[in-house]
Chains A and B, each alone.
Chain A
């Protein structure tokens, strides 16, 4: 198939992109890496009148200040995979990104584009929840910061205003005595996740026991979700069973809801164990 005709504008800055969004209303879409939007156009699942290309808007690379990893919106998946700063300060994301797309998708796809696309099976969204990431959203009224836990609104939709764009993703840097794990089940490498799980475990200073954990899941609801911390008991199997019991994934062509719930239980248990083991290293 061939994409429906649309107009194109290159935005030289994020401010210009926001202005173009405000002027063109709902018919305008932001084009970042294009690895989700362009397939939707080619399959005629979307019919925007105008694409606003933000690729010329930003040349920044990843940076770290005050234990905060800052990933500019246009950070490509390949950079996430290969950049030393990300491997050092967010090893969870550096590991999870291996599951995203293929070489060509990772060369173009961007971190903020993926978050704004809000796929419910997104590895990146799952990691954003687990790490307590925030996004910087720029709109006509200026900037605001949105926690990842408030960003996802349902299937492929976010809580961002139509005139807002993500300019940065802020991730708290990994700390000592912290461990991580990413677990995913797919039928074929590079497919969308059936279920994916991202876990961060923090050990207590004195005892070395797991003091807190964050569990995020993809592929189990209409968006990526955080598990209620109250469900964690300290025992990986028991915690995983309690979390799985709260999930009601839908049946679809890839897997039944019951299978997804079972996968969630198995993968959360594995992830809690692996993250705790890594934290103790």
Chain B
């Protein structure tokens, strides 16, 4: 039987193009490890149920809930957080610039998840309609006031 003991095991986690050797518990979520172990402030605990989108990361390019994925499941895959989109010297991604220009971020807590989810949508559809943007972002909750400006920012980016 290949059942593992409950104590920690070592994995290699590839995050934003860099490999990290980590000791993790089998029950650690990807969110736990990225936020608590690697100190990544751009991956956030919101609801723990897959509803709010603040823990969004890209797993091999696809948006997933960091709170519902086990860290051990991410070993051997490419994990990308918002920071992974940025260029040398923390140069902003064009979609981040659109968010800034349009005032699409207020407290900013939801913003990394919004941007990663929107980027996936634009990569897949090219120029999404406003309805497609709303549908894709239904699982990214904003509680400030960003709604319309977020849509505007994503449309501006898709038009570039």
Rounded to whole Å, the gap between the CB of A148 and the closest CB of chain B is: 25
Contact assessment for B27 and A3 in the assembled complex, using a CB-CB cutoff below 8 Å: yes
Residues of A within 8 A of B53 (CB): 102, 104
Is B3 among interface residues, defined by CB-CB distance under 8 A?
yes
CA of A200 to CA of B19, assembled, Å: 51
- Whether the pair A104, B72 counts as a contact (CB closer than 8 A) is no
Chain B residues touching A, range:
35 or more
- In B33-68, which residues have CB < 8 Å from any A CB? 48-51, 53, 56, 59, 62-65, 67-68
Query: Shortest distance in angstroms between B151's beta carbon and chain A's nearest beta carbon?
Result: 15
Q: Is A53 an interface position by the 8 A CB rule?
A: yes
A22-42 interface with B by 8 A CB criterion: 23-24, 31, 34-35, 38-39, 41-42
- Out of A2, A20, A38, name the residue touching B3 (CB < 8 Å): A20
C-alpha spacing A1/B47, complex, angstroms: 9
Q: How far is the CB of A19 from chain B (nearest CB, A)?
A: 8
Contacts of A6 in B (CB 8 A): 6, 26-27
Known contacts A35-B50, A101-B50; A5 and B68 CB within 8 A of each other: no
Given A103-B117, A107-B62, verify A39-B6 contact (CB < 8 Å). no
Number of residues in A with C-beta < 8 Å to the partner?
36
A3, B29: Cβ atoms closer than 8 Å: yes
A residues 179-197 with Cβ under 8 Å of B?
188-190
User: In the bound complex, how far is the Cα of B63 from the Cα of A108, in angstroms?
Assistant: 9
Contacts of B67 in A (CB 8 A): 38, 42
Shortest CB distance B75–A (Å):
10
Hey, which bits of chain B sit against chain A, CB under 8 A? 1-6, 25-27, 29, 32, 48-51, 53, 56, 59, 62-65, 67-70, 72-73, 117, 120-121, 135-136, 138-140
7 pairs of A and B residues whose beta carbons are closest in the complex: A102-B139, A8-B26, A42-B48, A38-B68, A39-B49, A104-B65, A107-B62
